[in-house]
Chain A
């Protein structure tokens, strides 16, 4: 009975983390799947979101700034707002150039944020991180508190999914697809490509901040490891590419699937003797990376390929201008 209860709790935590990753992956999908933008610093926006809500919602302490005991919703909104502003500034500099520059700048943002976390200990409590972050439903009896949080995460996933799905099918989403498919013809049709990209980038980053905020409340703790490019950037990329870029269902599927794979392999490797367990962890990263490469080369569409919202109509005669 106890064992069963343990499995159930494990299942809930798996689903909760999978859900948080699903939000992250949906955010990346808006950037990569819709707008074709490479964000190599997901971890940065994720971390900024986590720290923002942590500082706003914790109770007063001398360990770090903040301690305003604000309601969760304020934490969530502030996290999204701050990331939105940062994303706008980065976008302003990089979006008129090709995607590579954005990738370099975003990885830079993540690194700078990590430097701030490390150096400004008065504000962030340095490597020890921010703890005692309140968690919704934490006063409910076990396991209902866990269930409650899972429910919250799933509701957020559902809301984000519905919103990005509506966006994808809207005229806005169709223009995004047209830009990604054939930028010159979209430009020729008078679309302000840079603005559309900016919108995609900012919205994506705000969604990532929301995921970061959820994670902070879920773990009740956040430290500079939140900006680890492995867990918060790389894994998200693998999730989206495997699940199916430009397909929101694929993004969610990829997130849950890869989180289960990632966690399951951890169970296997953690049972190995110490020395081997540490090394096996690296093999795990290698294999996940290899999986990404295989999908990129052999199945670039992912498990659930993109479904086109009537692009053909608007994009059909675009190539004629190539002649001469």
Chain B
């Protein structure tokens, strides 16, 4: 059974529908990457898992359980953790306090998990008493992911974790993602840096205009000439909003 499965979902914000029947799934132990041009609904599809927008049709299943339109605070308690693209840490809290907040819904002792996170991200251990807002971009991403991992989630959702990072940090983040995955956490990730992301992915989806366009293993998509052309060409732009 898939950890997460979107079954032909429709929905958006207010009256504006953005997803027109998107389907995707993440199987246990997988890294699944969603790519596509700007405005394709990639992040929106991910947010729909987390109950951040209302779906009008279709279903979201978590290990077979219907969690369609469950509000975010309840989805977290079911063990789904979401790392937004921006504003994903509490800047005025220390690194350690950020991680503690990640464990907010845990009733048991989270200390052992805290140590595991510090082993996974050694730079954070050094700066545990420093306020997270003072860290570098890459380290902030580590805090954001570490915070999400405090729950030992059933699945981790990452929204463009490398956005705004330098190429050096980008590589670092991708290797961290792989590392997190290797210790057993399935990952659903939306990415702009399609090439690097697909190279670590088990499967990839290409969304265009709120619909599935391509699906395949990471390598297959990388080799697909049409996909390659789309991303080399930059994809088609969405008309700017006007008043």
Touch between A and B in complex, CB under 8 Å?
yes
Q: Which residues of B contact A185 (CB under 8 A)?
A: 241-243
Q: Which DSSP category, helix, strand, loop or mixed, fits chain A's interface?
A: helix
Q: A324 an interface residue at 8 Å Cβ cutoff?
A: yes
Interface residues of A in 185-201 (CB under 8 A from B): 185-186, 188-189, 191
Q: Which residues of A contact B204 (CB under 8 A)?
A: none
Classify chain B's interface size.
20 to 34
Q: B12 an interface residue at 8 Å Cβ cutoff?
A: yes
Q: B39 an interface residue at 8 Å Cβ cutoff?
A: yes
Tell whether, in the assembled complex, residue A321 and residue B240 are in contact, meaning their CB atoms are under 8 Å apart.
Answer: yes
* Interface membership of chain A positions 42-60, coded 1 if the CB is closer than 8 angstroms to chain B and 0 otherwise: 0000000000000000000
User: A302–B239 Cα gap in the complex (Å)?
Assistant: 37
User: Which of B15, B16, B43, B241 has a CB less than 8 Å from the CB of A324?
Assistant: B43
* Interface membership of chain A positions 285-324, coded 1 if the CB is closer than 8 angstroms to chain B and 0 otherwise: 0000000000000000000000000000011011111111
Q: A157 an interface residue at 8 Å Cβ cutoff?
A: no
Q: B42 an interface residue at 8 Å Cβ cutoff?
A: yes
Report B52 CB to chain A, min CB distance, Å.
Answer: 12
Q: Which residues of A contact B42 (CB under 8 A)?
A: 324
Asked if A317 meets B18 with Cβ closer than 8 Å, knowing A323-B41, A324-B38, A324-B40, the reply is no
* Interface membership of chain A positions 156-186, coded 1 if the CB is closer than 8 angstroms to chain B and 0 otherwise: 0000000000000000000100100010011
Q: B14 an interface residue at 8 Å Cβ cutoff?
A: yes
User: A319–B18 Cα gap in the complex (Å)?
Assistant: 10
User: A186–B15 Cα gap in the complex (Å)?
Assistant: 18
Tell whether, in the assembled complex, residue A188 and residue B14 are in contact, meaning their CB atoms are under 8 Å apart.
Answer: no
Asked if A324 meets B13 with Cβ closer than 8 Å, knowing A188-B241, A188-B243, A318-B241, the reply is no
Tell whether, in the assembled complex, residue A324 and residue B243 are in contact, meaning their CB atoms are under 8 Å apart.
Answer: no
User: A319–B238 Cα gap in the complex (Å)?
Assistant: 12
Tell whether, in the assembled complex, residue B242 and residue A317 are in contact, meaning their CB atoms are under 8 Å apart.
Answer: yes
Tell whether, in the assembled complex, residue A320 and residue B16 are in contact, meaning their CB atoms are under 8 Å apart.
Answer: yes
Q: B162 an interface residue at 8 Å Cβ cutoff?
A: no
Tell whether, in the assembled complex, residue A189 and residue B12 are in contact, meaning their CB atoms are under 8 Å apart.
Answer: no
Closest to B47 in A: A324
Report A1 CB to chain B, min CB distance, Å.
Answer: 62
User: A178–B44 Cα gap in the complex (Å)?
Assistant: 25
Tell whether, in the assembled complex, residue A186 and residue B18 are in contact, meaning their CB atoms are under 8 Å apart.
Answer: no
Asked if A317 meets B39 with Cβ closer than 8 Å, knowing A323-B18, A323-B44, the reply is no
Tell whether, in the assembled complex, residue A323 and residue B12 are in contact, meaning their CB atoms are under 8 Å apart.
Answer: yes
User: A182–B39 Cα gap in the complex (Å)?
Assistant: 19
Asked if A314 meets B243 with Cβ closer than 8 Å, knowing A323-B44, A324-B40, the reply is yes
User: A188–B238 Cα gap in the complex (Å)?
Assistant: 14
Interface residues of B in 39-58 (CB under 8 A from A): 39-44
Interface, chain A (partner B; CB < 8 A): 175, 178, 182, 185-186, 188-189, 191, 314-315, 317-324
Give the 3 A-B residue pairs with the shortest CB-CB distance, closest first. A189-B243, A321-B241, A319-B16
28 A-B pairs in the complex with CB atoms less than 8 angstroms apart: A175-B243, A178-B243, A182-B243, A185-B243, A188-B241, A314-B243, A315-B243, A317-B239, A317-B241, A317-B242, A318-B241, A318-B242, A318-B243, A319-B13, A319-B15, A321-B39, A321-B238, A321-B240, A321-B241, A322-B16, A323-B12, A323-B39, A323-B40, A323-B41, A323-B44, A324-B38, A324-B40, A324-B43
Interface, chain B (partner A; CB < 8 A): 12-16, 18, 38-44, 210, 238-243
16 more CB-based (< 8 A) A-B contacts, given A315-B243, A324-B40, A324-B42: A188-B241, A188-B243, A189-B243, A191-B243, A314-B243, A317-B239, A319-B15, A320-B16, A320-B239, A321-B39, A322-B13, A322-B16, A323-B18, A323-B41, A324-B39, A324-B43
